[in-house]
Amino acid sequence: MTFACRTGCGACCIAPSITTPFFGMPHGKRAGERCVHLDTENRCRLFGKPERPQWCHDLRAEPAMCGDNDQAAMSILTALERATRP
């Protein structure tokens, strides 16, 4: 069974850091910083485009990461970010 992203959640585009430069964010993205490519409804404007960062392309939504709602996803991803900080 495939787990699908919740439209408009945006937690994976805010909570984690991305340490590599990418289109529109030449210094990467800090944890908790909103990606510049999220629209006002928390949807990625780069989804399916070649400019989308590899990190984002490789990320797969799953229940353990996304929880039951958007707030749970933000909490889980923030905790994972903190736990994996160098």
Return the closest-CA partner of residue 11 out of 57, 73, 58, 56. Answer: 73
What sign results for the dihedral spanned by CA atoms 26, 30, 33, 34?
positive
C-alpha 1/C-alpha 43 separation (Å) is: 23
| pLDDT tens-digit map of 22-73 | 999 999 999 999 999 999 999 999 999 999 999 999 998 899 999 999 999 9
**pTM here?**
0.88
Beta bridge partners of 5: none
Q: Which residues contact 48 (CB under 8 A, 6 or more apart)?
A: none
| pLDDT tens-digit map of 7-25 | 889 999 999 999 999 999 9
C-alpha 45/C-alpha 6 separation (Å) is: 15
